[in-house]
A = this chain, B = another copy of it.
């Protein structure tokens, strides 16, 4: 049952309950889908390939990478469990980047053709996808702002705050310690700095008692101060919905549904299998 797919997509929305009925009603139209296991380093898609499905990352980390002609590379996006990958290629049908697993994990596919059914039957779903894309774009914009306007220390701090916040959104059990499955070279390629300087910057943050990193394990010692120096404002991470007039659906009677009522079972298992 691909119930599970939708759960992982919609879980993170306040509006979950709003669309639930519609989504539920549509579920039976979809083909059975299966979870696929991927190992760290596995390729999810390659630049130039044609894109005919979305991927939902059920567990593990992944990223999209752009390779420069000179051999250097840039990590464009980091994907965490629950993220929907490939939204932007819905229309173009073409991958512009490579996507790679950073850890072991599970993904499942959602063919565009299935999506189409959703679109057709429920314009709201299209709107929902706009919302997700919107948030993605906000992240991209935020990173751009961060990268051009701020020092290396701020950039790294900001990135850590972002990961931390996103993880908490998925599972509030990630308190102030989590696995950050990126090498310093990966971080460098994400943040547009040299690996050497990432190392130095980590030392600096550690010296100030803000974070600590050992073997991909990251400990945040002083979240408040970290956010402060990063000028981190988590609002850009929120998926926004509703101010607009786009909703066909009558605004929900705002029934307070408990998190669990969504049928999502606190999925622990998948938690990042490391390697690397």
A residues sitting closer than 8 Å to B (CB atoms) are 47-48, 50-52, 64, 66, 68-69, 72, 74, 76-77, 79, 85-97, 111-113, 115-116, 119-120, 123, 126-131, 133-134, 136-138, 140-141, 143-145, 147-149, 191-192, 231, 236, 239-246, 248, 263-264, 267-276
Complex Cα distance, B91 from A128, in Å, reads 7
Cα distance A192–B144 in the bound complex, in angstroms: 9
* Shortest distance from the beta carbon of A123 to any chain B beta carbon, whole Å: 4
**Assembly of this chain: how many copies?**
2
Do B147 and A115 have beta carbons less than 8 Å apart? no
The minimal Cβ–Cβ distance linking A33 to chain B, given in whole angstroms, is: 16
Task: Give CA–CA (A129, B144) in the complex, Å.
Answer: 23
Instruction: List B contacts of A134 (CB < 8 A).
Output: 88-92
**In terms of DSSP, what is the predominant structure of the interface of chain A?**
mixed
Q: Could you tell me the distance between the alpha carbons of A94 and B262 in the complex, rounded to whole angstroms?
A: 12
Q: Is A243 touching B94 in the complex (CB atoms < 8 A)?
A: yes
Which residues of B lie under 8 Å from residue A141 when comparing CB positions?
Answer: 66, 76, 96, 140
What are 14 of the A-B contact pairs (CB < 8 Å)?
A50-B243, A66-B141, A91-B244, A93-B245, A93-B264, A94-B240, A96-B138, A112-B246, A113-B245, A115-B246, A123-B123, A140-B140, A140-B144, A147-B147
